[in-house]
Chain A
Amino acid sequence: MAEKLIIDYSSPGRKGYSLPPLDVPDIKIEGNLETEYIREDLNFPEVSEVDVVRHYTALSELNYGVDSGIYPLGSCTMKYNPKRNEDIARIDHLSQIHPYQSDGDVQGSLRILHELKTDLAEISGMDEMTLQPASGAHGEFTGLLIIRKYFEDKGIEKSKVIVPDSAHGTNPASAVMAGFDIVEIDSNEHGMVDIEKLKEAVDDDVAALMLTNPNTLGIFEKDIKQIADIIHDAGGLLYYDGANLNAVMGYARPGDMDFDVLHLNLHKTFSTPHGGGGPGSGTVGVKEFLKPYLPRPLLVKNSDKYYWDYDRPKSIGKVHGFYGNYGVLIRAYSYIKTLGYKGLKKTTENAVLNANYMKVKLKEDFELPYEENSLHEFVLSGVKQKEKGANTLNIAKRLLDYGQYAPTIYFPLVVKEAMMIEPTETENVGTLNKFIDTLKTISKEIEENPELVKNAPHNTAVRKLDEAKAAREPDLKW
């Protein structure tokens, strides 16, 4: 099953590229560049085009994508990536444009970007958006810098950011990068923000509370208005992590929940492909009073003309070399225009319906630590199965044997042996049933033959990999 490295296909003199012959008079590089600046050797592969095509095709076959089947990673929203979006992002007049062309040259693209940010602002209930952040974490960092700059501008010193213990790891990491100290607060027995503990944690040194709503357990923070009041009354701001927006589109908007800043993950909610880990886009939205602090440049529409406004003296500056992940933004635009307002709402409805259906079916076999109503995702615990000899990691690996991807595991940290399941709306009841049946089968296997599950996977291209060895004896290149 193993595929060797591309360098191992190398044969001296083999070529996989072709270029037109040099058509200007040739010059000797040696006479123009000092010898110490001329590279001596480049140990790159020497392979043919067919070698390259076969090799990377073989590697692709060792992967699993959304088109392969269900991809139930909780908080990752692995929905189908529409093919039309791919075609549209490749239209020459959209993709073959240079970032330093004048605004007048690229009015079409700027119109698309402006319509996109207007739609995203409407969907999330915010007043203004920047499209510059290139990932969710990049959006968090940008949003927190905006908060930092706002307080600095007002002459108010604030050093702390509160994050719940169920938060994504990027939340505290981004807040530290933005110069804040972290205060972590425990969730209550319902998996929600503990209002009393929040009150205890809040003082006038708190710049912001970062919240995902619904939270990583899929549970909607029903006291959100009260939470917002507690933070706002203490002079702090409310940050919304948009990872779970797929749960509420058309039903509720973070802006109406009194969030001041948010980021949206276009590679989750708005269907752009994850590419094996990126690219993404973490567009940031703010309420009107934070608009001056958005990254430069800001896209502006003036009568029928669109332009980048660099004259923004209170801006946090730039967070990206150019304007953000434009190709991702085009795909998100194509998605929103395809669905329209009805499709967006129906998307959310079916994401939530699918998750609730799975939860009802699976809680018969797996412990459900929080009985609260949940939305687009839910978290099970593998504690019962662990007692019988196979833990959540083993269950995840066994799922791979059945040709299905595993849920997010051991997250959120507040649940032991956590399995966080998010089916998304693009799966139908047939694929859900197949996944449910597989998990039930694995649960039975654990009762009958725990070793089988413990030693999984058995049928994948490689068996369970030794991560400890990888870290102990780093082998990071050929």
Chain B
Amino acid sequence: MDYVSNTEEEREQMLKEIGVEAIEDIFNSIPDEVKLNRDLDVSEGMSELELKRHINKIADTNISLDNYTSFLGGGAYDHYVPSIIDHLISRQEFYTAYTPYQAELSQGTLQVVYEYQSMISELTGMEIANASLLDGGSATAEAILMASRISRNKKILMSSALHPSYREVAKTYGEPKDLDFVEIGLDNSVTNLEELEDNLSDDVAAIVVQYPNFYGSIENMEKIKELKQQYKKVLLIVVANPISLGLLTPPKLFGADIVTGEGQSLGNTINYGGPYLGYLACINDRKFIRQMPGRIAGATVDADGNRGYVLTLQTREQHIRRERATSNMCTNEALNATISTIYMATMGKKGLKEVAEQSYKKAHYLADKIDEIDKFDVLNLDNFFHEFWVSTKLPVKKVLSSLKQNNILGGIDISRFKEEEGILISVTEKRTKEELDELVRLMEAM
């Protein structure tokens, strides 16, 4: 099976018009020494029915959230995704379009981006948002590079309570620019603020904290704001789960200069980690706008004076500035940003708050119950959003595998990141009391 629609006769006729005899002749510009003189070692093609049988058979060997109750989080959250999202983004005009190079035939995408930017700005409290970056990890890295360009400093104070993978991505991105990463340790489940204070100086480019942090804890943002404000050039980057901002005070009010993070929780399928979207928003300052990575949509007028949308401030970008661009960003995560836009619009003013509150309340119900069990302790019981850190003397692997035998994915074994130990349990509005009680019952029996 293939998707070529020219018939043999048409191909013959086209070759004639081109003035060659056989299709192979068009490839004469490829020198023989690099030509492949054999068939590719790739399997035979399949009909649609064969393909679906083949892949369904493979898929059935997975354990999925479809038939397991999941308490996994760690930057990828199992929130409810309303039906309308997949229907709307399955409109070919959205999903098969290219980057809106011809604005007049891309007003749909451009207006969606404008709405996305508006709602991300509102949610984070910031003034300007871009059209999306690749994911939470790379967006955090881009935010750090941006802060270093703005402050012209290289030292980054990065909280150890920032997602371990984001820290690793940031270091990968920062290495060629000689960024000096100082990891600020933990004080229980939050950033050690004394250590942060001791490391602050005028040559620091940025403080990077996660809110709520990797362990689910809510950092002392008031204090962080106070520390940051003692140094004029130091920027504050806040990495935030957008769902939590339905309930929590937006980072701008704690002095954030750049807010970034993973947008998956806003309506995107769990999808084994991708495609997700990175979001990035900042204060309204010319220096910041000029250093922003990625695409930005803006409103303007057309030749008749009617409102329309275009990609704008493009002199920052690679296709204009080449080696002097702020970033190499080209393809972003437009369809995921479309998903998040539709999600935010659907949930709206009350819905986003309700999702955040239900997640919060259910997570706290569960945490209280687990903390009552002798063999388990919740380390951040009095201060977390919808994810908490459980410590236990029992072997974590055994706890999780025993839960799995009962069709429960009980949480993340924190030791996989080779720093701390315990279980990270995440609860969204999708979990029912019955499921929470069942988890407690099984843990009590251990």
A327 contacts B166, CB within 8 Å? Answer: no
- In the bound complex, residues from chain A placing their C-beta under 8 Å from that of B336 are 275, 278-279
- Contact A464 B104, beta carbon cutoff 8 Å: yes
With A256-B36, A278-B334: A100-B76 Cβ-Cβ less than 8 Å: yes
**Other-chain residue from A22, A38, A52, A356 in contact with B247 (beta carbon distance below 8 A):** A38
The residue of chain A having its C-beta at the shortest distance from the C-beta of B354 within the complex is A19
> Which chain A residue has the least Cβ–Cβ distance from B247?
A39
A278-B333, A350-B6, A462-B104 in contact; A52/B84 too (CB < 8 A)? yes
**Is A188 interfacial (CB 8 A cutoff)?**
no
In whole Å, how far is B50's beta carbon from the nearest beta carbon of chain A?
9
Question: Assuming A60-B91, A136-B330, A222-B29, is B272 touching A342 (CB within 8 A)?
Answer: no
Q: How many B residues, CB 8 Å from partner?
A: 198
Considering the complex, which residues of chain B in the window 154-171 have a beta carbon less than 8 Å from any beta carbon of chain A?
163, 165-166, 168-169, 171
- Complex CA gap A61/B59 in Å reads 35
What's the nearest-Cβ distance from chain B to residue A357, in Å?
Answer: 5
Q: Does B445 contact A (CB under 8 A)?
A: no
Bound complex: CA A268 to CA B393 (Å): 51
Q: B64: CB under 8 A from chain A? A: yes
Residue of B105, B134, B166 near A63 (CB, 8 A) is B105
Contacts of A95 in B (CB 8 A): 269-272
A276 touches B66 (CB 8 A): no
Q: How far is the CA of A20 from the CA of B11 in the complex (A)?
A: 59
- Within the complex, what minimum Cβ distance (angstroms) separates A460 from chain B? 4
Interface positions of A from 312 to 359, Cβ below 8 Å from B: 316-328, 333-334, 336-347, 349-350, 352-354, 356-357
Partner of A97, one of B27, B62, B119, B304: B62
Which residues from 175 to 200 on chain A have a C-beta closer than 8 Å to any C-beta of chain B?
175-179, 182
Please state if B136 and A321 are interface contacts (CB–CB under 8 Å). Answer: yes
A382 to B349, CA, bound (A): 51
Let me know if A71 and B98 touch, CB within 8 A. yes
Contact indicator A474/B312 (Cβ below 8 Å):
yes
Instruction: Find residues 1-46 in chain B having any chain A CB closer than 8 Å to their own CB.
Output: 1-6, 10-11, 13-15, 17-19, 23, 26-31, 33-36, 39-46
Closest CB-CB distance, B154 to chain A, in whole Å?
13
A137 contacts B331, C-beta separation under 8 Å: yes
Residue of B nearest to A359 (CB): B18
Q: Mark B189-216, 1 if CB is under 8 A from A, else 0.
A: 0000000000000000000000000000
B138 with A15: CB separation less than 8 A: no
* Cβ contact of A267, chosen from B40, B309, B331, cutoff 8 A: B331
Is A289 at the interface (CB under 8 A from chain B)? no
Instruction: Decide if A463 touches B93 in the complex (CB within 8 Å).
Output: no
Among B276, B320, B332, the residue within 8 A (CB) of A135 is B332
10 pairs, CB–CB < 8 Å, chain A vs chain B: A22-B362, A32-B382, A61-B108, A81-B96, A170-B328, A317-B175, A318-B168, A321-B138, A340-B43, A353-B6
Taking CB atoms, residues of chain B closer than 8 Å to A357 are 14, 17-18
Judge whether B238 is part of the interface by a CB distance below 8 angstroms.
no
Which parts of A447-478 form the interface with B (CB within 8 Å)?
455, 457, 460-467, 469-471, 474-478
On whether the beta carbons of A476 and B298 are closer than 8 Å, the reply is yes
The residues of B that contact A84 with a CB separation of less than 8 Å are 48, 51-52
Minimum Cβ distance to chain A for residue B235 (Å): 20
Confirm or deny: A441 has a beta carbon within 8 angstroms of a beta carbon on chain B: no
* Range for the number of chain A residues in contact with chain B: 35 or more
Judging by beta carbons under 8 Å apart, are A321 and B313 in contact? no
Within A433-451, the residues touching B (CB, 8 Å) are: none
Cβ-defined contact, A477 with B128, below 8 A: yes
Residues of B close to A474: CB separation below 8 A = 289, 298, 312-313
User: How far, in whole Å, are A97 and B168 apart by their CA atoms in the complex?
Assistant: 23
Instruction: Name the A residues within 8 Å of B319 (CB-CB).
Output: 169-170, 411
In the complex the two chains form, is B300's CB within 8 Å of A466's CB? yes
B322 and A408 contact, CB distance less than 8 A: no
Most chain B CB atoms below 10 A, which of A76, A318, A463: A318
Q: How far is the CB of A278 from chain B (nearest CB, A)?
A: 4
Whether a CB of chain A sits under 8 angstroms from the CB of B380 is no
A132 (CB) vs chain B CBs: closest residue: B274
Which residues of A (244-267) have their CB < 8 Å from a CB of B? Answer: 248-253, 256-257, 267
Taking the complex as formed, is A225 at the interface, i.e. its CB lies under 8 A from any CB of chain B?
A: yes
A-contacting residues, B238-288, CB 8 Å: 245-250, 262, 269-276
* B117 beta carbon closer than 8 Å to chain A: yes
A455 and B303: CB pair below 8 A? yes
Please give me the residue from chain B that is nearest to A316 by CB atom: B172
Which segment of A1-9, A231-239, A383-391 sits at the interface? A1-9
Whether B298 lies near A470 (C-beta < 8 A) is yes
Task: Report whether B29 and A96 are in contact in the complex, using a CB–CB cutoff of 8 Å.
Answer: no
CA A256 – CA B31 in complex, angstroms? 12
B351 and A16 form a contact (CB under 8 A):
yes
**CB neighbours of A22 from chain B (8 A):** 358, 361-362
Which positions 220-235 of chain B face chain A at CB distance < 8 Å? 221-222
Are A101 and B409 in contact, CB atoms less than 8 angstroms apart? yes
Instruction: Decide if A460 touches B104 in the complex (CB within 8 Å).
Output: yes
- Contact between chains at B64 and A92 (CB < 8 Å): yes
CA distance A222 to B33 in the complex (A): 10
- Docked Cα-Cα span, A91 to B272, in Å, equals 13
A276 adjacent to B55 (CB under 8 Å) = no
Per the bound structure, the CA–CA distance linking A17 and B353 in Å amounts to 12
- Nearest Cβ in chain A — how far from B132, in angstroms? 7
Known contacts: A98-B272, A252-B34, A462-B107. The answer to whether A45 contacts B4 by CB under 8 A is no
Instruction: Please give, as numbers and ranges, the residues of chain B lying within 8 Å of A174 by CB-CB distance.
Output: 328
The answer to the question of B299 belonging to the interface, with a C-beta cut-off of 8 Å to chain A, is yes
Q: Contact: A350 with B171, CB < 8 Å?
A: no
A276-B362 contact given A60-B93, A321-B165, A343-B45, CB 8 Å threshold: no
- Which chain B residue shows the least CB distance to A478? B118
In the assembled complex, how far is the CB of residue B352 from the closest CB belonging to chain A, in whole angstroms?
Answer: 6
Q: A3's closest neighbor in chain B, by CB?
A: B111
Q: Which residues of B contact A82 (CB under 8 A)?
A: 3
- Counting CB contacts under 8 A, is A105 at the interface? yes
Q: Across the interface, which residues of A come within 8 angstroms of B123, CB to CB?
A: 42, 44
Say which residue of B163, B269, B350 sits within 8 Å of A327 (CB atoms).
B269
Interface hub of B10, B276, B336 (most chain A Cβ within 10 A): B276
> Does A47 touch B at the CB level, under 8 Å?
yes
For window 322-375 of chain B, which residues contact chain A by CB distance below 8 Å? 322-325, 327-336, 338, 342, 344-355, 357-358, 360-362, 364-365
B100 to chain A, nearest CB (A): 7
What residues on B are CB-neighbors of A426 within 8 Å?
Answer: 3-5
Rounded to whole Å, the gap between the CB of A80 and the closest CB of chain B is 5
Chain B contacts for A352, CB-based, 8 A: 23, 26-27
**B390 contacts chain A at the CB level, 8 A cutoff:** no
Find out whether the CB atom of B62 lies under 8 angstroms from the CB atom of A86: no
CA distance A135 to B99 in the complex (A): 13
Residue contact B94 to A251, C-beta cutoff 8 Å: no
User: Is residue B422 contacting chain A, with contact meaning CB distance below 8 A?
Assistant: no
Which single residue of chain B is at the shortest CB-CB distance from A267?
A: B331
CB-CB under 8 A from A20, the residues of chain B are 432
